[in-house]
Amino acid sequence: MKDILELGTRVRHHRIAMGLKQAELAEKAAVSVDVLSALENGRSVTSESLARVLAGLGHSDALVDLLPAPVVSPIDLQKLAGKQRKRVRL
């Protein structure tokens, strides 16, 4: 996929901009150099490895920011509001 290749290119550019060799970032991210190389070349890696590399680059929140937080509809809020406890009975 084109997007995966672009992600790998961005990881490589960030690593180089930080002045890190692959081995240094791999150690910092607790992944192997092979995993980092695979990511940078647009090959498949686990989501855990991706998260570790992003954290090693200082972008640990990047995965969470990919998708917006779920929004509860006003109708669902109204349904939930009717079920909230208003007092405690003894």
Say which CATH number the domain at 50 has: 1.10.260.40
Region class of 22: left (phi > 0), else alpha (psi between -120 and 50), else beta: alpha
Residue 64, pLDDT score: 85
CA torsion angle 60 61 66 71 (round to 10): 150
Q: Residue 89 has what DSSP assignment?
A: -
Below-70 pLDDT ranges, the chain: 81-86
Residue 16, pLDDT score: 97
Determine the structural domain holding residue 39 and report its residue range: 2-66
Task: Give me the number of domains the chain comprises.
Answer: 1
Residue 90, pLDDT score: 73
Asked if residue 88 belongs to a domain, the reply is no
